[in-house]
Amino acid sequence: MGLTSEELDYPSQQPANHLDSVKHQTSFILKSFISENMLCNILIVGENSEIKFQDFDNGKISWTIINLERNNIKEEQYKNLLEISGDIEKPDFIKSINLNRPTIVILSKPLNYLKEIVAKKFLKQICDYFDYCELIINFKTLLINKHSADQFSGVNKPVDLEAWNKKIFMYQDFIWNDSHYQKQYGVSLIKKIGHYKVG
Quick: pLDDT tens for 109-155: 888 888 888 889 999 999 999 999 999 998 877 766 555 555 555 67
Return the sign of the alpha-carbon dihedral for residues 163, 66, 31, 177. negative
Taking CA atoms, 152 is separated from 13, 94, 119, 161, 162, in Å, by: 26, 23, 10, 14, 17
pLDDT of residue 22: 60
In sequence order, what E strands does the chain have? Answer: 41-45, 62-67, 81-85, 103-107, 133-144, 147-148, 168-178, 188-198
pLDDT of residue 155: 72
Alpha helices, DSSP H only, in 130-190? 179-185
Homologous superfamily assigned to 5-198: Vaccinia Virus protein VP39 (3.40.50.150)
Q: Residue 57: pLDDT above 80?
A: yes
Q: In degrees to the nearest 10, what's the CA dihedral of 45, 51, 54, 58?
A: -80
Share of the chain above pLDDT 70, in %: 69
- Distance from C-alpha of 75 to C-alpha of 180, rounded to nearest angstrom: 35
Q: Residue 60: pLDDT above 80?
A: yes
Closest CA to 184 of 10, 11, 13: 13
pLDDT of residue 77: 55
- Distance from C-alpha of 22 to C-alpha of 16, rounded to nearest angstrom: 10
Instruction: Place 158 in a pLDDT band, splitting at 50, 70 and 90.
Output: confident
Among 10-24, 75-89, 99-113, 151-165, the range of highest mean pLDDT: 99-113
